[in-house]
Chain A
Amino acid sequence: SYELTQPPSVSVSPGQTARITCSGDALPKQYAYWYQQKAGQAPVLVISKDSERPSGIPERFSGSSSGTTVTLTISGVQAEDEADYYCQSADSSGTYQYVFGTGTKVTVL
């Protein structure tokens, strides 16, 4: 089955830049989406279609894509950015379905 692989954890000091990668064979052909999930809360969409920021999402969140890897970048990390982050994409190789990444815990030191 199709998998999206993320690093389990990323640690960053306040004001620094956090980069979270997501790797998957179909990412050159399918858009990726990023979700932020704070403890005890539902996920929130922070990046759509590889690099688009939905309304209300701070400018410090950005997304990029290169080959089989997409990257979520948080510039000028703030304490409130500490959360789990999940990438998500589609698998159209067989029956169309969505897939979530393995998740990355971002810790603000």
Chain B
Amino acid sequence: QVTLRESGPALVKPTQTLTLTCTFSGFSLSTSGMCVSWIRQPPGKALEWLALIDWDDDKYYNTSLKTRLTISKDTSKNQVVLTMTNMDPVDTATYYCARTLFEQQLDRTWVDYGMDVWGPGTTVTVSS
């Protein structure tokens, strides 16, 4: 059974750096095709994708937030960490991590199967 769970501070001050950890089980990030994404959702607003890290340690970022984000993995601990610098009240949101699954086709290309399992989310408030 695949599960993910986000953890981190519930409250951060403006200009501080936010560090969130996604701890997962049921799969390994060293297995080809496995990825973890971070997504956030401000209160009453739409989902916003933030970053993805794949089994090969390749990293992809939302270009509008790229300068503030860093994603990393610790395969031995089954954890993915997201840091976001210079936090602002507009960054107040529920932050989710989700497994993203790729499968290799017969022609050796990779096909994305989507974010198939999500964590419950963790709420972060940015306020002084």
Which of A's residues lie within 8 Å of B, judged by CB?
A: 1, 31, 33, 35, 37, 42-45, 48-49, 54, 86, 88, 90, 94-103
Contacts and interface: CB of A to CB of B under 8 A. Distances in A.
B60 A45 contact: no
A102 B44 CA distance: 12
Given A42-B118, A95-B63, A98-B52, A35 B113 contact: no
Interface in B4-49: 37, 39, 46-49
Given A33-B115, A45-B114, A49-B113, A97 B62 contact: yes
B46 A1 contact: no
Nearest to B50: A98
B47 A103 contact: yes
B116 A45 contact: yes
Interface of B: 37, 39, 46-49, 52, 60-64, 66, 96, 98, 111-116, 118-121
Interface residues of B, dominant DSSP: strand
A102 B61 CA distance: 19
A43 B112 CA distance: 18
A95 B46 contact: no
Given A31-B112, A45-B115, A88-B114, A100 B47 contact: yes
Given A95-B60, A97-B63, A48 B114 contact: yes
A101 to B, nearest CB: 7
A83 to B, nearest CB: 13
Contacts of B49: 88, 97-100
A101 B60 contact: no
A46 B46 CA distance: 17
* Best-buried of A35, A42, A86, A90 by chain B (most CB within 10 Å): A42
B63 A98 contact: no
Contacts of A1: 63-64
Nearest to B61: A97
Contacts of B64: 1
7 contacts: A33-B115, A35-B115, A88-B115, A95-B66, A97-B49, A98-B37, A98-B49
A106 to B, nearest CB: 15
Nearest to B65: A97
A58 B116 CA distance: 15
